[in-house]
Amino acid sequence: MGFSTIYLTPFFTAGSVHRYDASTFAHVDPLLGGDEALE
């Protein structure tokens, strides 16, 4: 595909759009499908 790096952003519940200030590491943000989407 022509690339050597994949950059992943946090997917935890947070108080900002970029999600780097996660409020909990125990749950997936509901805007991204919640915990059910991880299963």
What distances in angstroms separate CA 5 from CA 1, 11, 35, one per listed residue? 11, 18, 26
Q: Give me the pLDDT at residue 23, please.
A: 92
pTM (two decimals): 0.65
Distance of CA 25 to the CA centre of its chain: 10
User: In the chain, what are the domain boundaries?
Assistant: 1-39
pLDDT digits (tens, 9 = 90+) for 13-33: 998 888 889 999 999 999 899
36: Cβ–Cβ under 8 A, 6 or more apart, which residues?
Answer: none
